[in-house]
Amino acid sequence: MNIKIINKSNHELPHYETIASAGMDLRASLTESIILKPLERTIVSTGLFLELPVGIEAQVRPRSGLAAKKGITVLNAPGTIDADYRGEIGVILVNLSNEDFTIQNGERIAQLVIAKHERAEWEQVDILSETDRGSGGFGSTGTK
């Protein structure tokens, strides 16, 4: 699938690191570093703009290494980029650690996953079909 992209950053385009990678790393496009204090959040520029086909979304997800090692994650994970959005991809990062974290220009801050999606049409009813699970939620399926 071909997706149109404008790259206003000084970095290479996002790309898959391996043949089986689902996501591509997004890099910070900054004129100066950002210091993210504990529990602070900020929107980090990427310099990237997409034109996605209808029926396709781009999901902005945390990088597992950054989350595990530094406590830095994507606050609205996964962030959704809709097919009709034409603005710059911004990544909402939050620092869940106890230490300041410095975001440098070119740092890999998140990953981008391209995914198909469906559109639903509601069918309003008075009764839903019965299942073994029923209305059990929030961990109820693992109690046996």
Q: What is the pLDDT of residues 15-43, one digit of tens each?
A: 999 999 999 999 999 999 999 999 999 99
Q: 36: domain CATH number?
A: 2.70.40.10
- For residue 78 the two structure tokens come to 């996964």
Residue 85, in any domain of the structure: yes
- Taking the whole predicted model, whether its pTM rises above 0.95 is answered as no
Residue 23, in any domain of the structure: yes
**Number of structural domains the chain divides into:** 1
The domain containing residue 80 runs over which residues? 4-118
Please state the separation of Cα 70 from the chain's center in Å: 17
Please state the separation of Cα 63 from the chain's center in Å: 9
> In the predicted model, is pLDDT for residue 81 greater than 80?
yes
Residue 38, in any domain of the structure: yes
- For residue 25 the two structure tokens come to 């790393």
